[in-house]
Copies of this chain bind each other. A is one copy, B any other.
Amino acid sequence: MSQERDADRSPALPRTERWHTRVTLKEIAAHAGVSRSTVSLVMQESPLVAETTRQRVRESAETLGYVYNRGAATLRSARTATVGVIVHDVANPFFGALVAGIDEVLEPAGYVPFLANSDDSQERQARFLSRLREQRVDALLLCPAEHTPAALIDQLGEWQLPCVQIMRHVGETPLGDYVGADIRRGVGEAVAHLVTLGHRRIALLAGESDHSADRERLDGYRQAMRAAELDANLMLSRGGLSRRAGRERTLALFAQTPAPTALICHNDLVALGALLALRHLGLHPGIDCAVVGIDDVEEATLTEPALTSIATQPRACGRAAAELALTRIASPLGAPRQIVLPATLHVRETTAVPPVDAKESS
């Protein structure tokens, strides 16, 4: 920490930053000929202060190279202008887009996001949560890890920490603030679409853990299958949700007879895995077997054939969640809101009429 730089302080050159003597409100006050309080008001963009003073103070701050000390402000005012974000897999492009959406809203509002990866582990989630409490974040944006107990939301309430759940929620119905997509309806629409095309053996490649996102897919599927007078339990597969798992689970499904003629996949990664599997089996997606993904990630439009997918709009969800968090910070006692964005089916090339033999045999 060499501080012996004072030598080069030539008064002619007002260096923007002096060495290691941090500029504080006090220095600005002295420089601008006002009190600390006034400077503070200027920094808070308060309308109380006169325009001319405001200008003078701003200039002083500028020439002295002042950097606002959010930490000091926090101590007194209990606002940190930070928000915690917990997702279960940053490496998944879906969450990448989600995080980008969050960022988009927080940034102009002057908020900064803390980000962590729970990796769907309770323990990591809990550890990060306590870090965030130490940092006194103003709010939390949470995609809860698997098996998160419903009590967590109550706990957060006791801790006075506003929380917006995203895409998944703990407990049966969302108790607190929540932003997600209307997956149930989206899946229903997909099933109806496939039924209209003539499909009968429609498989659902679901997840294996019983959280809300999973349940909604299942509910939408069951309900639509029932409506079409088809057996929903016959073609239900539960398992992992990676691209690799999608591939393997599809191979497994095709090992049984009768094989499905259409696959609805928990997310696009699984769907892309399914495409790989079909190609491996020498089958043509969209001709020999229909495939529907969920999320509509950018990649979906680029595969050959292009993937039919239910758009969950991660970016829009991220934006909505961040906005909700900001309003909740502004009014902590307002009524919780549940925002459910429409999930619309984007029909592309992987859904077409089933092969003739399959249609007849059902």
Contact = CB atoms under 8 A, between A and B. Distances in A.
A247 interface: yes
Given A69-B134, A113-B116, A114-B115, 11 more contacts: A1-B333, A68-B134, A71-B74, A90-B99, A90-B103, A92-B93, A107-B124, A112-B135, A113-B114, A113-B115, A247-B302
Contact of A91 (B67, B100, B113, B332): B100
A279 interface: yes
Nearest to A158: B17
A260 to B, nearest CB: 21
Interface in A289-340: 298-299, 302-304, 332-333
A145 to B, nearest CB: 14
How many monomers of this chain does the complex have?
A: 2
Nearest to A106: B116
A299 B275 CA distance: 13
Contacts of A127: 107
Contacts of A254: none
Contacts of A113: 114-116
A82 interface: yes
A196 interface: no
Contact of A70 (B136, B280, B299): B136
Nearest to A91: B96
B71 A135 contact: yes
A97 B124 CA distance: 17
Given A112-B116, A243-B298, A302-B276, A134 B70 contact: yes
